[in-house]
Amino acid sequence: MPLEVIGAGFGRTGTHSLYLALQKLGYPTHHMVELMRDPTQDANIWTYAYDHPNSPDTDWEKVYGRYTAAVDFPTCTFYKELCERYPDAKVVLTVRTPESWYKSMQNTVFKQVKMRQQNNDRGDTAHLADVFQMMRHTGMNGLFEHNMDKVDDEAFVCDIFSKHIEDVKRNVPADRLLIMNLGDGWEPLCNFLNKPVPDEPYPRSNSSDEFAALSQGAMDAGTTAAATSA
């Protein structure tokens, strides 16, 4: 199945809510939690794609073949390649203020990645170790000049966030792009995708506490799945 919706927004911009919303609208959707909980997914494909930009050998179909939409990390890092590979896909860019995004990242993603780096991924399955190595290589080190200390420089990190938003606006045609702010709800998304508005509230998910529980649940599921398939 080709991708029909590509999420270009960084994680912690409402991407988990968008993940739930797209599923409600009928799109099987990829998100980092899908990657963590499923040991059959190969995290090294994204690492290869990062190291070999625009390589014809990157097997995007192996990554996204079961999905018609993809959001969050690592998808957002490769939005240009995916837009080229799936030229009919629409792009949703989720945004929030740089300062609120940075605070959220420090309380969630940055905290988790740094902790696991300090522990050398001890206790992880081989799959989860690959996932976190890929995250550091493509999303963390790749964005922050291969220096994790950079994530504590708020001005530097917020500048990267703002530049990414401008990069998406510059590279994606306006008729193919929806910019969604936190709190926009169903209407702009459904109008953009030509879908009826569901008769229920737009999903609200993934506060800092929810992130910790969600991540742990996904990792536990991945560990169980790996043990079952061994």
Per-residue pLDDT in tens (0 to 9) along the chain, 230 residues: 899 999 999 999 999 999 999 999 999 999 999 999 899 999 999 999 999 999 999 999 999 999 999 999 999 999 999 999 999 999 999 999 999 999 999 988 888 777 776 766 666 788 888 998 898 888 766 677 666 678 889 999 999 999 999 999 999 999 999 999 989 999 999 999 999 999 999 999 765 555 555 555 545 544 555 445 55
Helix (H, G, I), strand (E, B) or coil at 31: coil
Structure tokens at 175: 């008729």
Helix (H, G, I), strand (E, B) or coil at 89: coil
What is the reported pTM?
A: 0.88
Handedness of CA 39, 164, 186, 87 (dihedral sign): negative
Place of tokens 């790749």: 142
Tell me which fold the domain 5-229 belongs to: Rossmann fold (3.40.50)
Rounded alpha-carbon distances, angstroms, from residue 99 to 96, 153, 182: 8, 12, 14
Sorted by where each begins, the domain ranges of the chain are 5-229
Q: What is the reported pLDDT for 212? A: 56
Rounded alpha-carbon distances, angstroms, from residue 34 to 7, 59, 74, 172, 214: 15, 18, 11, 26, 11
